[in-house]
Amino acid sequence: MEKFIENLPKAELHLHIEGTFEPELMFKIAQRNNIEIPFASVEEIQAAYAFDCLQDFLDIYYQGANVLIHEQDFYDLTYSYLEKCALQNVRHTEIMFDPQTHTDRGISFETVITGISKAMQDAKDNLNVSSLLIMSYLRHLSEEEAFKTLEASLPFKHLITAVGLDSSEKGNPPAKFKKVFEASVKEGYIPLAHAGEEGNADYVWEAIDILGIKRIDHGNNSLQDSKLVEEIVKRDIALTVCPLSNTALQVVDDLKNHPLKKMIALGLKVTVNSDDPAYFGGQINKNFIEIQKALDLSKKEIYELCENSFTYSLLDDQTKDNYLSELNQSYAKNN
């Protein structure tokens, strides 16, 4: 089963580039930028990764991102993740980045996006992994701040496909960002958002009705409301589920109680993703392997999760079809 999972071509649709920052690379970049980090070793960093909730994690995650200063740092971070994609048969990935985490520290939008984009281009050329970018607004900040970010992104519009909404969910409902999402859609960005990770089903309603999102990041708490589930199924909106993130942040107490199988049974379209792999104990294949074991998923179910990952990507239809036939060939050979 593990080999089967590793061999299948797949796409990753829920991934924060700042969340791929492995301790080893963090130390290396901190050293070359002469920045002190409050840890003496890789082991100390790893020991700090025990979280009670989303906010607990976010505090450490934003601290880690502070060592990223130069274009080369963003390049190295991104290329290092894309190399891991190539090793795991991730053929395509849709990468979220949090510009405000960097611009608020005086790093220019251009530095961030140039470093990330150059790595994406090099990964396409050298590793044959395709990718696109999702610019996420930090929901603990104001809508006015999000508007400034939208403005800053416009010279780089050709490099960005979608907008997202992440960070502290509770107390920051989607409706807070209604106007900036409308403006983002006018600029041609596809609207996406985290919803129903810690927030309740009302947040998911707002995300689909008020922000008009095309994909829900997490969406676990949608299951609280059967009308909502019906509506998500009817509108054919996929949920980008992150099993190891959910247990690391205590959204789910045990993978055996993870709602993924229930979601599938209800007719929801689900994908499996790593969210912040450096912090949650595993890349995408580990997420697949652990959830398969916990819920006893069949090969056919694993195949369907991979199929969803291409079908619900933001790629054009022709490119989706090419990846889907690659997946089908691999499935026929390995099944």
- Cβ atoms 73, 33 nearer than 8 A: yes
- Min CB(133)–Zn ion separation in Å: 15
Residues of the chain by 3-state class (helix, strand, coil), percent to 5: 60, 15, 30
* Footprint (CB under 5 A) of Zn ion, residues 220-279: 275
Tell me how far apart the alpha carbons of residues 171 and 166 are, in angstroms, rounded to a whole number.
13
163-179 per-residue burial string, b: 16 or more CB within 10 A, e: under 16? bbbbbbbeebbbbbbee
Number of residues that bind Zn ion (CB under 5 A): 1
Smallest gap from Cβ 74 to Zn ion, in A, equals 19
Q: How far is the CB of 200 from ligand ADE (least distance, A)?
A: 15
Selection from Zn ion, ligand ADE, none that 54 binds (CB < 5 to 8 A by kind) is: ligand ADE
206 binds Zn ion (CB under 5 A): no
Positions touching ligand ADE (CB under 6 A) are 16, 19, 54, 166-167, 194, 197, 245, 275-276
Residue 290: which of ligand ADE, Zn ion, none does it interact with, CB under 5 to 8 A by kind?
A: none
Cα-Cα-Cα-Cα torsion 237, 256, 172, 59, nearest 10 degrees, comes to -130
Separation of alpha carbons 275 and 94, rounded Å: 11
State the minimum distance, in angstroms, from the CB of residue 36 to Zn ion: 28
**Cβ-based nearer residue to ligand ADE, 194 or 215:** 194
65 CB-contact burial (10 Å; exposed 0-12 / middle 13-18 / buried 19+) = buried
Nearer to ligand ADE, 91 or 139 (CB): 139
- Active-site residue (options: 22, 71, 197, 307): 197
Token digits for 17? 């580039």
Place of tokens 């530095």: 111
Q: Which is nearer to ligand ADE, 19 or 99 (CB)?
A: 19
Interaction partner, residue 84 (Zn ion, ligand ADE, none; CB < 5-8 Å by kind)? none
Nearer to ligand ADE, 123 or 241 (CB): 241
Cα separation of 191 and 134, whole Å? 9
The closest residue (CB) to ligand ADE is 166
Q: Which residue is nearest to Zn ion (CB)?
A: 275
Q: Find tokens 């996929």 and name the residue.
A: 238
Does residue 43 carry a catalytic annotation? no
Residue 197 binds: one of ligand ADE, Zn ion, none (C-beta under 5 to 8 A by kind): ligand ADE
Separation of alpha carbons 114 and 322, rounded Å = 28
Choose from Zn ion, ligand ADE, none: what does 19 bind? Cβ within 5-8 Å by kind. ligand ADE
Half-sphere exposure of 104 (CA within 13 A, CB side): 14
Residues marked as catalytic: 197
**Which residues sit at the interface with Zn ion, rule CB under 5 A?**
275
